[in-house]
Structure 1
Amino acid sequence: MEKRALGRSGISISPLVLGGNVFGWTADKARSFELLDRFLDAGFETIDSADIYSSWIPGHQGGESETILGEWMKARGVREKVVIITKV
């Protein structure tokens, strides 16, 4: 797969980035893991997240997306294979 430079970071990424705003919100943990597995299996590696995702949902505090993403990387042992893009 063709990779593209991520600015001047020295990192090259695939041209498609998976948005993580649904993890822990419209996609529960099991569905999130399935989506992440398929994304990585398809040859992509860059995932967008933010600690504010789902903070507007009653009963959520924000950070659910990043928590699920961290749990998935740990469970699958793929931290070195993915690039995480987040916002602060």
Structure 2
Amino acid sequence: MLTYQRLIALLFLTIPAIIAAFGWKIMREVYIDYAAYDQFQLLLFLGGLLLFLFGVGFIAGWILHRDRKRNLVQPRFMQRDEDEE
């Protein structure tokens, strides 16, 4: 059962990584087309940026959540209790 859980977790991490890579590819192509004296396609670039930030943000949040559960983060990244504030 543990093997299936790790496989599912791997799938949950590869899908956002593929989305982020696709967003990076779109941004790169827009920039290269602009460098070749073509018109800058702002909406396409912003769409690629959105995909990239979503993918990277999901992976970063996943890693932060996992490290918080294992107490591997610095004190400034620990979740604060509502009672302490």
User: Which of the five TM-score ranges fits, normalised by the shorter chain?
Assistant: under 0.3
> Is the strand fraction higher in 1 or 2?
1
Name the structure with the higher helix share: 2
Query: Which of structures 1 and 2 has the bigger CA Rg?
Result: 2
Normalising by structure 1, what TM-score? 0.27
What is the TM-score with the length of structure 2 in the denominator? 0.27
